[in-house]
């Protein structure tokens, strides 16, 4: 959490930036089905170092209607010289509704990079919870000056196969039929499920055979990692309950989706599904940035580039 003194310092920093901002440049939001969308797509397609085929799926999806999918930096004559991708979502946590904005794909032409900060200014005038899970390392310092917290995220890949599972009766069933899933979801999870209906991620329910009310809703994505596939957990409705059965559940899920490895992103070891060094694991550390997080925030990678 930032202190009052830090907030004042950040506000002063932003105010000073606005004063010195180049009058020859302006930032505009980009909405789906607009003329500016076509111009933005054309700009992004020209970026030789960008895999546009992956980015296109993100840009085509809007979790909240009426919000932009990004912001562009334009010159006085209307030429686009920069882009910042923004993925907005509306999430209910506890009794509160919060708007999140996940940032991705920050690109600015070389001759205009000193003005990269302009793309952040529109968001700084709002009180959205803002996250970025894949920030460019050279821009992390700039995020911090804008009041973002720098945190260390762990991505843990672990071996899910368990030979002994074949000698035990399975306590849980995995339900993938969305009609069945939705009957057992609470209001919060039902919204999350509906928001991800048209995306290429797996949505399933882990249901206790002996107590159907005891269930865990999961969203996961299968990713290719060199020579093998990994099933990455994007969202787990009850992390603590999942951890009670740990490796046995992962083994069953791995068998269901034909993978031998599962993966998870987390901030703190206490939230890891599989403890470090308990099994065959590999950790990859990275820095992420977050701002204006609500007090009841629970970390996951929903509504981000990790879902695609």
Quote the crossing angle between the two packed helices 35-45 and 52-59, to the nearest 10°: 160
Among 55, 303, 10, 235, CA closest to 145 = 10
pLDDT value of position 96: 84
Q: How far is CA 271 from CA 5, 79, 232, in A?
A: 31, 46, 15
- In the chain (308 residues long), the average pLDDT of successive 10-residue segments reads 55 63 86 96 94 90 94 96 97 87 96 93 93 95 94 93 55 92 94 92 93 91 89 96 88 91 95 79 95 93 95
Six-digit token string for 190: 């039902």
Strand partners of residue 173: 207
pLDDT value of position 279: 62
pLDDT value of position 167: 45
Query: CA–CA separation, 110 vs 116, rounded Å?
Result: 10
Among 34, 33, 136, CA closest to 82 = 136
- Contact in structure between 176 and 206 (CB atoms under 8 Å): no
Query: CA–CA separation, 283 vs 205, rounded Å?
Result: 27
- Degrees to nearest 5, angle at CA 98 with 92 and 102: 110
For 216, residues 6+ apart whose C-beta sits below 8 A from its C-beta are 205, 206, 236, 237, 238, 241, 242
Give the H or E element holding residue 51.
none
pLDDT value of position 166: 47
For 202, residues 6+ apart whose C-beta sits below 8 A from its C-beta are 176, 218, 219, 220, 221, 222, 231, 257
Q: How far is CA 156 from CA 123, 250, 265, in A?
A: 31, 13, 7
Among 109, 55, 63, 110, CA closest to 85 = 55
Among 116, 147, 153, 110, CA closest to 14 = 147
If one counts every other C-beta atom within 10 angstroms of the C-beta of residue 114, the result is 9
pLDDT value of position 176: 95
Six-digit token string for 60: 């085509």
In this structure, the strands spanning 211-225 and 202-208 are antiparallel
pLDDT value of position 10: 63
Six-digit token string for 223: 């990713």
CA 224 remoteness from chain centre: 18
pLDDT value of position 267: 97
- Contact in structure between 95 and 84 (CB atoms under 8 Å): no
């Amino acid at each position: 959490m930032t202190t009052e003194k830090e907030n004042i310092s950040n506000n002063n920093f932003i105010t000073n930036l606005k004063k010195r901002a180049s009058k020859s440049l302006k930032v505009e939001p980009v909405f789906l089905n607009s003329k500016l969308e076509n111009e933005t797509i054309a700009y992004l397609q020209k970026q030789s170092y960008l895999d546009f085929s992956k980015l296109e799926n993100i840009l085509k999806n809007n979790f909240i209607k009426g919000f932009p999918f990004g912001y562009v930096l334009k010159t006085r004559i209307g030429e686009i010289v920069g882009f910042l991708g923004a993925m907005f979502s509306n999430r209910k946590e506890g009794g509160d509704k919060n708007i999140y904005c996940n940032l991705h794909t920050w690109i600015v032409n070389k001759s205009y990079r000193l003005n990269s900060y302009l793309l952040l200014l529109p968001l700084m005038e709002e009180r959205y919870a803002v996250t970025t899970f894949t920030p460019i390392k050279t821009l992390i310092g700039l995020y911090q000056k804008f009041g973002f917290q720098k945190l260390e995220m762990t991505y843990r890949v672990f071996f899910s196969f368990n030979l002994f599972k074949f000698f035990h009766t399975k306590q849980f069933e995995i339900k993938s039929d969305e009609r069945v899933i939705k009957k057992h979801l609470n209001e919060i999870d039902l919204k999350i499920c509906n928001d991800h209906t048209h995306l290429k991620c797996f949505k399933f329910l882990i249901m206790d055979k002996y107590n159907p009310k005891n269930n865990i809703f999961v969203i996961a994505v299968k990713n290719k990692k060199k020579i093998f596939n990994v099933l990455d957990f994007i969202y787990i409705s009850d992390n603590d309950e999942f951890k009670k059965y740990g490796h046995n559940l992962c083994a069953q899920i791995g068998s269901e989706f034909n993978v031998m490895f599962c993966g998870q992103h987390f901030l703190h070891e206490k939230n890891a599904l599989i403890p470090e060094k308990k099994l065959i694991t590999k950790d990859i550390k990275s820095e992420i940035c977050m701002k204006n997080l609500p007090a009841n925030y629970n970390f996951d990678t929903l509504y981000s580039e990790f879902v695609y």
